[in-house]
C-alpha cells in the first residue's frame, strides 16, 4: 500500500469502467487524482459532468484526494484544461493514465468515416493531446505515462477496424515516447486490458465471468504508474483475469542472399518463404 504517496495522477475516461477502477486504486495508494471525463455515452455523445463528479466524491468520501474535470480529450483545449487543473490544484503531475475510449465495433463493409474519425479522435488523437499537454510537467517530475490499447491494436479483430488502427497508433506512439523521453527519466508503457465494461457489454465471451472486471486489470496500471516499474519503458503489459503477459514485436532471423547473386526476386521469396518466415 502507499505506492503513490505524494504523487499526482491524471486518469482520463475515469467516470466509468477501467478508468474509474484505476482512479480509485490510485487514490487508495495515496495519489491525488484528477478524474477526467466529460460524461458522454458509450458512443461518445452528450456530456454529463456529474459522471466525473460522482467518482471524485466517492474518493474524497473514502479519505482520498480527487478533483473532477469534465473536459474532453477530443480538443487540445480540453487536454490543456485537464493538465492545468492538476498542476493548479495539486501543484504537480507525476502520472498520466490515458484510459478514455468509446465504442466503435463496425465491420469494414458498414464502416463510415464519421465513426472511424470519432474513435481515432478519442483513443489516438486524445492520447497524443494529453501527452503533449502533460509533457512539461512529466519531464519536471520524471513522471510516468500509462496508455491503453487493445488486442485488436496488436492482432486485428473482426469488426474492430477503428479500434485496431487507433490502438496500433497508441502502441507506436508509446514506443516512440519511450525512446524519446528516456533521457528525461520519463517512462511510457501500454496496458492491454481485457475486462467487462460498457464498451463491450453483451459479448458472449465476457458474460458471467466474475474475474474479468475493471478491478482485475487496474493493478497493471498501478504497476506501470509507480516506482514498482523502475526504469522499464516501452513495454506492452497484457492483463486478463488471472493471466498477465507481455506483447513483443519480433523479427525472424530471415534468410541472406549474397550481393553478388543480385537482388531478391519475387519467385525466390516464394521459394524460400518457409525459411524466411521461420522464427
Q: Dump pLDDT digits (tens) for 10-56.
A: 999 999 999 999 999 999 999 999 999 999 998 899 999 999 999 99
pLDDT bin (cut points 50, 70, 90) of residue 279 is: confident
Q: What is the mean pLDDT of the chain?
A: 93
Instruction: State the pTM of this model.
Output: 0.93
Integer Cα distance of 45 and 25 in angstroms = 27
Contacts 24+ apart (CB under 8 A), 111-115: 111/161, 111/162, 115/162
Residue 210, pLDDT > 80, answer no
Confidence (pLDDT) at 192: 96
The three-point CA angle 223-22-92 to 5° equals 80
CATH class of 8-248: alpha beta
**CA-closest candidate to residue 238, choices 155, 162, 173:** 155
Q: How many CB atoms lie within 10 A of CB 234?
A: 17
pLDDT bin (cut points 50, 70, 90) of residue 234 is: very high
Reduced DSSP (H G I as helix, E B as strand, rest coil) percent helix, strand, coil of the chain, to 5: 45, 15, 40
pLDDT bin (cut points 50, 70, 90) of residue 277 is: very high
The three-point CA angle 14-17-20 to 5° equals 35
Residue 200, pLDDT > 80, answer no
Confidence (pLDDT) at 201: 61
Grid cell of 79 as nine digits: 487536454
How does pLDDT run across 89-121, given as a tens digit for each residue? 999 999 999 999 998 888 999 999 999 999 999
Confidence (pLDDT) at 209: 55
- Residue 187's contacts (CB-CB under 8 Å, 6 or more residues apart) are 144, 145, 178, 181, 224, 229, 231, 232, 233
Given a contact cutoff of 8 angstroms between Cβ atoms, the answer to whether 52 and 69 are in contact is: yes
Average pLDDT over residues 200-222: 74
Given a contact cutoff of 8 angstroms between Cβ atoms, the answer to whether 101 and 130 are in contact is: no
Domains of the chain, residue spans: 8-248, 252-279
Average pLDDT over residues 168-190: 98
Amino acid at each position: 500500500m502507499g505506492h503513490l504517496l505524494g504523487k499526482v495522477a491524471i486518469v482520463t475516461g475515469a467516470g466509468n469502467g477501467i478508468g474509474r477502477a484505476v482512479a480509485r486504486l490510485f487514490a487508495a495508494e495515496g495519489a491525488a487524482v484528477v478524474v477526467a471525463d466529460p460524461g458522454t455515452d458509450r458512443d461518445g455523445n452528450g456530456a454529463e459532468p456529474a459522471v466525473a463528479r460522482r467518482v471524485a466524491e466517492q474518493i474524497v468520501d473514502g479519505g482520498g484526494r480527487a478533483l473532477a474535470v469534465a473536459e474532453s480529450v477530443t480538443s487540445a483545449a480540453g487536454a490543456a484544461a485537464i493538465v492545468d487543473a492538476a498542476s493548479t490544484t495539486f501543484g504537480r503531475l507525476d502520472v498520466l493514465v490515458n484510459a478514455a475510449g468509446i465504442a466503435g465495433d463496425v465491420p469494414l463493409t458498414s464502416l463510415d468515416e464519421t465513426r472511424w474519425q470519432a474513435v481515432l479522435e478519442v483513443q489516438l488523437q486524445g492520447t497524443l493531446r494529453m501527452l503533449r499537454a502533460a509533457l512539461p510537467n512529466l519531464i519536471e517530475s520524471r513522471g510516468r505515462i500509462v496508455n491503453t490499447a487493445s488486442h485488436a491494436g496488436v492482432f486485428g479483430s473482426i469488426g474492430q477496424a477503428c479500434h485496431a488502427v487507433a490502438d496500433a497508433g497508441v502502441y507506436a506512439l508509446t514506443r516512440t515516447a519511450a525512446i524519446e523521453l528516456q533521457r528525461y527519466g520519463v517512462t511510457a508503457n501500454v496496458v492491454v486490458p481485457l475486462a467487462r465494461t460498457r464498451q463491450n457489454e453483451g459479448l458472449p465471451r465476457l458474460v458471467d465471468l466474475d474475474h474479468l472486471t475493471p478491478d482485475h486489470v487496474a493493478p497493471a496500471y498501478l504497476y506501470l504508474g509507480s516506482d514498482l516499474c523502475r526504469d522499464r519503458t516501452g513495454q506492452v503489459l497484457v492483463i486478463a483475469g488471472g493471466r498477465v503477459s507481455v506483447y513483443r514485436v519480433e523479427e525472424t532471423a530471415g534468410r541472406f542472399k549474397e550481393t553478388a547473386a543480385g537482388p531478391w526476386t519475387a519467385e525466390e521469396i516464394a521459394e524460400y518463404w518457409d525459411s524466411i518466415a521461420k522464427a
